[in-house]
Amino acid sequence: MLATLSHPGDTHTLYYLLLFILRVGIVMCCHPATSLCFRSLGRPFIQSHSIHYQLRTHLRRALCIASPPPNRQFAMGSLAAADEPLPPLRYPPARRDGDIVDDYHGVLVPDPYRWMEELESEEVKEYVGAQAALANAVLATCDHRGRLRGQLTALLDHPRYRAPFKRAGTYFYFHNPGLLPHSALYVQHGLGGEPSVLLDPGELSDDATVSLSMIGVSDDGEHLAYGTSASGSDWVTISVMRVRDRRRLPDALSWVKFSRIAWTSDGMGFFYSRFPAPKDDDGAPESGIRTDVNLNHEVYYHFLGTDQSDDVMCWKDPEHPKYIYTPEVTEDGKYVLLSVSESSEPVNKLYYCDLSALSHGLSGMKAKGTHEMLPFVKLVDEFEAFYGVVANDGTRFTIQTNKDAPRYKLSRVDVDDPQSWTDVLPEDDKAVLEYACAVHGDKLLVNYLSDVKYVLQMRSLATGELLHGIPIDIGSVNGITGRRGDSEVFVEFSSFLTPGIVYRCDLSSGTPEMSIYREITVPGFDRTDFEAKQVFYPSKDGTKIPMFVVSRKKIVLDGSHPALLFGYGGFGMSMTPQFSAARVVLMRNLRFVTCVANIRGGGEYGEDWHKAGSLANKQNCFDDFIAAGEFLVSAGYTSPSRLCIEGGSNGGLLVAACINQRPGLFGCALAHVGVMDMLRFHKFTIGRAWACDFGCSEKEEEFHWLIKYSPLHNVRRPWEKGAAGDQQYPPTMLLTADHDDRVVPSHTLKFLATMQHVLCRSVEQSPQSNPIVARIDRKSGHGCGRSTQKIIDEAADRYAFAAKMMGVSWID
């Protein structure tokens, strides 16, 4: 998944990339930038008045796995000699509890591995250790592991930049000169000033497992508030730094989750969201271990230099404990906005509070010690559509919405006359309005997605009239930074064959003038050796599905090439072109053809496309992905024995469901942090928010949808079906991490135990000779916040496994 965002007033919620083909292959939705916040309800999003990313709900992309306890380290093992055979596969025993049987609407469903949900138990720790040892033994035979690690390290050893954003004449941006564990936040005074490091996340821990999860700079550029998370957890601690001398203030805010940092214009403090501290609060979240459901989100205002216990309670709603609140302050500083969500669905309520109308201001509320909440006005109080504020001129708000517009539009309303809604930019006949942001006074920069290709335009904020088209190559606009008071905008771009370009767009004249501000170059990568193209193939029901195919130039379509097929298909997330160092190594040294299928369930064609792959229509996602594999085989790109499929989070579910349904079509499967138990996902952390896409087993109709494809409940012995070519499952690697508190690790552990039992341990002389293993990372989470070295190590392991299993040779 790449990154996205969206928020009222200046950015749009970024939801994942949900994992994705970022820099080294599949990196789950993480993206350091201006006010980087890792997505509500499980997806990261960036915020601040200056950075805009691909829009779509602030709570929409949230799905990936968690792994067991941190005590057991995944041993990597030493590189084995070439062509070393696999060791005898002796799968660790896993106790099966036959007494655990659930009654779902009259259907009895056994759950023999329920004990694996107790992640801190010694039994689970021992099981994880045994599985890690097995995976280590298999990886030790993978011939190309060391070569992959070396090539990935070399390709990533180059400077990388994010788009800068400006506060009071000072520029801030993220930069990694090469192989630092994490990108550092830099500051420079003026566009030509000397940059210096403001905050290096690598200095926050000895082992690089503490990362930045959100930042927010005050309007005057004087203070930086930043959130850190340990080991990839969604739990965040917010700290504050004074920019001019890098002095860290004593402020420390705990139990923050699914939040953003929203400074008030006076620089006195900021709004944020948190959950109540648990009864056993020891002062800091136990990341990666707490799997209880997150309820009773609350909004607070924090004054600089004060203790968290003195923060002003601004909003809570005990009658609706599942609501999630995202505060934001408009660029003029007059209003605080509150987006209210209950799930990852692209719908929200929208409230506002006029800060200038408070009789004593926020400081007065604090001084009086009042328990009254802010007097929010409920502009939209129904979960009927998505509403994201783009800009306001006094009481007149410009809002991006999908109200009666599945491809999104811009509307305007005067909050003093809440019935005065009018369309400013109507829904396009074909293209999806990904985001819009107000820049340079009265201008509007909009980004459309048309057949998974971006179109960038400058329009009038007042009328929506097209002023200028802004030419860009086929690729992805990953970010736009700029404010209405600025005459410049920065645009971040990348594609399958473009590592990254930051454009500076000068708006001071009548015509936008684009120039390259920074361009990322990768030593050893020559884009002229490769080609990227888009194809359309028919799915099972005849629907045309787009897919990107990237490979070396002039390959012969004789079915001999190894291929990597990646997919996601959920939560309205669009899989757009992104550069990946791992993809380059696979194509250059292993001669892979790499493919990204834009299956239904995503947002590539708006909400209709999304809904065609969700709830009762979820099977369309699997049909689309299977059809992509069939197309690649029939078109001569590859053959079943050389076709590897990969996906993470919702994409991990996709991969697992597809190997259950068509095991003989694939030569290898890599499933990252997947949602595998579709009957119980809603019982842990923020899983309840995904019912909008999946349904919920507590409802009878939806249970019958889920039981048909739930990976955990549909493992069958292919040889008993009698289907030619489907005599066993493909070699399978399930990937998870011990601090993933989005999709708890029990999803992967239970699915792993079920596969090994049904296909191997319960059968004498089983035909299942292909290995089924799990790579369990230590001190990592759903994907965000991993260090450069962890990213390299995981990519080397999973692709070495795939190459070994499919018999792919290395070419220097």
Active site residue 740: yes
* Average pLDDT estimate for 418-433: 97
Residue 46, pLDDT score: 25
φ/ψ bin of 142: left (φ > 0), alpha (ψ from -120 to 50), beta (otherwise)? beta
Q: Using CA atoms, how far apart are residues 38 and 787, in angstroms rounded to an integer?
A: 16
pLDDT tens by residue, 127-161: 999 999 999 999 999 999 999 999 999 999 999 99
Q: Convert the pLDDT of each residue in 35-59 to its tens digit.
A: 333 333 443 222 333 333 333 333 4
Catalytic-labelled residue, pool 229, 649, 710, 746: 649
- Output the pLDDT for position 522: 96
Q: What span, in angstroms and rounded, lies between the C-alpha atoms of 143 and 735?
A: 20
Whether the pLDDT of residue 191 is over 60: the answer is yes
Question: Is residue 383 helix, strand or coil?
Answer: coil
How many Å from the N-terminal Cα to the C-terminal Cα in the chain?
30
Average pLDDT score, the chain: 88
CA torsion angle 700 703 705 708 (round to 10): -130
- Of 10, 740, 777, 793, catalytic: 740
Report how far residue 227's alpha carbon sits from residue 506's, in angstroms, rounded to the nearest whole number.
Answer: 32
- Residue 320 DSSP SS3: coil
| Amino acid identity, position 446 | V
Looking at the predicted structure, is the pLDDT value of residue 63 above 80? no
Rounded CA-CA distance 18/29 in Å is: 4
Of residues 669 and 65, the one with the higher pLDDT is 669
Alpha-carbon distance of 246 to 516, in angstroms, equals 31
pLDDT band at 30 (very low <50, low <70, confident <90, very high): very low
How does DSSP assign 463-496, residue by residue? T--EEEEE---SSEEEEEE--TT-SEEEEEEEET
User: Confidence class of residue 276 from pLDDT cuts 50, 70 and 90?
Assistant: very high
- Mean pLDDT calculated for residue range 319-329: 97
Q: What is the reported pLDDT for 727?
A: 87
Concerning whether 245 is annotated as a catalytic residue, the answer is: no
Q: Is 706 exposed, middle or buried (0-12, 13-18, 19+ CB in 10 A)?
A: buried
Q: Which long-range contacts (CB under 8 A, 24 or more apart) does 470-476 make?
A: 470/505, 470/512, 470/514, 471/514, 473/498, 474/532, 474/577, 475/576, 475/577, 476/2, 476/576, 476/577, 476/578
- The three-point CA angle 668-670-671 to 5° equals 140
* Mean pLDDT value across residues 768-794: 94
Q: Which of 609, 654, 62 is nearest to 343 (CA)?
A: 62
Place of tokens 């790109």: 637
Residue 393, pLDDT > 90, answer: yes
- Give the pLDDT score at 285: 54
Q: What is the CA radius of gyration of the chain?
A: 25
Q: Judge contact between 578 and 16, C-beta under 8 A.
A: no
56-60, 109-113, 630-634, 715-719: segment of lowest average pLDDT: 56-60
Q: How far apart are CA 366 and CA 368, in angstroms?
A: 5
pLDDT for 742 equals 92
Paired with 513 in beta bridges are 506
- Of 355-369, 433-447, 462-476, the one with minimum mean pLDDT is 355-369
Using H for helix, E for strand and C for coil, what is the string for 138-198? HHCCCCCHHHHHHHHHHHHCCCEECCCEEECCEEEEEEECCCCCCCEEEEEECCCCCCEEE
Residue 208 gets which letter from DSSP? Answer: S
Tens digit of pLDDT for each residue in 437-451?
Answer: 999 999 999 999 999
Which candidate in 12, 440, 682, 782 is catalytic?
782
Instruction: Tell me the DSSP string of 243-271.
Output: TTTTEEEEEEEEEE-S---EE-TTSSEEE
Task: Check whether 299 has a pLDDT greater than 50.
Answer: yes
Cβ atoms 644, 567 nearer than 8 A: no
pLDDT score for 698: 98
Q: What confidence tier does 287 reach under pLDDT thresholds 50, 70, 90? A: very low
Say what the pLDDT of residue 721 is: 77
Task: Check residue 85 and give its pLDDT.
Answer: 76
- The pLDDT tens digits for 159-184 are 999 999 999 999 999 999 999 999 99
What percent of the chain has a predicted confidence (pLDDT) above 90? Answer: 81
Active site residue 782: yes
As a whole number, mean pLDDT of residues 645-655 equals: 98
Place of tokens 């499933």: 671
Residue 66 scores a pLDDT above 80 = no
Tokens of 75: 């041993």
718: which DSSP letter?
Answer: G
Token pair for 807: 């018999």
Contacts of 316 (CB under 8 A, 6+ apart): 296, 297, 298, 299, 373
CB 712 within 8 A of CB 678: yes
Residue 289: pLDDT band with limits 50, 70, 90: low
> Does residue 377 register a pLDDT over 80?
yes
Query: What is the DSSP-derived secondary structure letter of residue 312?
Result: E
- Cβ(645)–Cβ(565) below 8 Å: yes
Note the pLDDT of residue 12.
28
Is the pLDDT reported for residue 488 higher than 90?
A: yes
Of 79-83, 107-111, 363-367, 443-447, where does mean pLDDT reach its minimum? 79-83
